């Protein structure tokens, strides 16, 4: 073998231009996922401030973003305590919706008769406005916290139940036949086939139920009229409206929005961590 036949080990490796373009697009998408929402929010705040300043709108009608931020800092001890009350109701209601909704969905998958008996009542709870049910709940329940938690649970319960029920019935029919051939028991079929199949549906319902639980908690606070130290952000909004303290109203609304975004982000992270290794919806797509 001559020197001309020997491979040149000092030569740089060949560059895959398509792979480089794919990596560049992926980096741009990751950057855009954070930069674009921040840019939209910044432009919206700038437009808001410009409209108020140009039209000389009084702060008791529409405050400037800077004034809302100052009010949030000034009232942080008061608003943070109210935020904790609202979040506590939301978390307890969501946990109750997950346990009861998921458990009832499993029961529905095991017994068609139970589903036909109870599912219509779940639909009734879903379609009945919570503001119509709340006064009755607060009459029959002594504890204001328990009453508000029940109201928030009613709002968050149905997405968990319906999505999980749908997921339990969405198992691959071929795999069901295979389980039947091998003589799997009902519990083995549930554990190894139906529950993994229902997991993406359940997690999708969880993301929906998280936001609905927060909405239900706020509506329940409005309906319950809980005041003082036990009052949440809804009570602070009502209190500020009576006093025409519009900057505090905007500050409380901003905290509710941030809480909703945080809940959605947490439930989305849980969904991603649970599905990233095996489900198509969470796998990285090569482009």
The C-alpha atoms of residue 44 and residue 241 are separated, in whole angstroms, by: 24
Contacts for 84 with CB less than 8 Å, ≥ 6 apart: none
Read off the pTM: 0.84
What integer pLDDT is reported at residue 228 of this predicted model? Answer: 57
Q: Do 126 and 265 belong together in one domain? A: yes
Asked if residue 137 lies in contact with residue 151, where contact means CB atoms within 8 angstroms, the answer is: yes
Number of structural domains in the chain: 2
Q: Do 116 and 152 belong together in one domain? A: yes
Q: Is 243 exposed, middle or buried (0-12, 13-18, 19+ CB in 10 A)?
A: exposed
Q: Do 103 and 179 belong together in one domain? A: yes
Q: Do 237 and 210 belong together in one domain? A: yes
The C-alpha atoms of residue 149 and residue 217 are separated, in whole angstroms, by: 7
Q: Do 27 and 133 belong together in one domain? A: no
Tokens of 98: 């997950």
Q: Do 44 and 76 belong together in one domain? A: no
Tokens of 179: 């389980």
Q: Do 26 and 155 belong together in one domain? A: no
Tokens of 31: 């950057």
Q: Do 68 and 196 belong together in one domain? A: yes
What integer pLDDT is reported at residue 287 of this predicted model? Answer: 46
Quote the domain boundaries for residue 68: 64-275
pLDDT in tens, the chain (287 residues): 555 555 555 555 555 677 787 788 888 888 777 888 888 989 999 999 999 999 988 888 889 999 999 999 999 999 999 999 999 999 999 999 999 999 999 999 888 888 888 888 888 888 888 888 888 888 888 888 899 999 999 999 999 999 999 999 888 888 888 888 888 888 888 888 888 888 999 999 999 999 999 999 999 888 876 655 667 899 899 889 888 899 999 999 999 999 999 999 999 999 888 888 776 666 655 44
Q: Is residue 286 part of a domain?
A: no
Q: Do 244 and 146 belong together in one domain? A: yes
Q: Do 129 and 271 belong together in one domain? A: yes
């Amino acid at each position: 073998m001559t020197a001309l036949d020997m491979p040149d080990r000092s030569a740089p490796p060949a560059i895959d231009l398509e792979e480089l373009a794919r990596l560049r697009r992926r980096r741009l998408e990751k950057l855009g996922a954070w930069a674009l929402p921040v840019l939209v929010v910044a432009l919206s705040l700038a437009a808001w401030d410009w409209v108020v300043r140009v039209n000389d709108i009084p702060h008791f009608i529409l405050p400037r973003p800077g004034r809302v931020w100052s009010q949030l800092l000034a009232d942080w001890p008061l608003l943070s305590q109210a935020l904790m009350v609202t979040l506590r109701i939301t978390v307890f209601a969501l946990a109750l919706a997950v346990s009861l909704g998921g458990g009832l969905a499993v029961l529905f998958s095991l017994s068609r008769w139970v589903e036909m008996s109870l599912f219509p009542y779940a639909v009734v709870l879903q379609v009945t406005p919570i503001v119509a049910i709340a006064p009755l709940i607060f009459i029959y329940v002594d504890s204001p916290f328990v009453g508000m938690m029940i109201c928030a649970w009613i709002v968050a319960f149905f997405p968990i139940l319906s999505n999980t029920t749908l997921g339990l019935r969405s198992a691959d029919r071929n795999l069901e036949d295979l389980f039947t051939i091998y003589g799997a028991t009902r519990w083995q079929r549930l554990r190894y086939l139906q529950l993994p199949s229902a997991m993406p549906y359940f997690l999708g319902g969880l993301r929906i139920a998280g936001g609905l639980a927060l909405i239900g908690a706020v509506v329940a606070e409005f309906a319950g009229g809980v005041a003082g130290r036990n009052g949440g952000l809804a009570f602070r909004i009502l209190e500020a409206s009576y006093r025409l303290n519009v900057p505090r109203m905007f500050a409380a609304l901003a905290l509710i929005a941030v809480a909703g975004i945080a809940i959605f982000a947490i439930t989305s992270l849980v969904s991603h961590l649970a599905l990233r290794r095996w489900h198509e919806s969470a796998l990285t797509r090569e482009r």
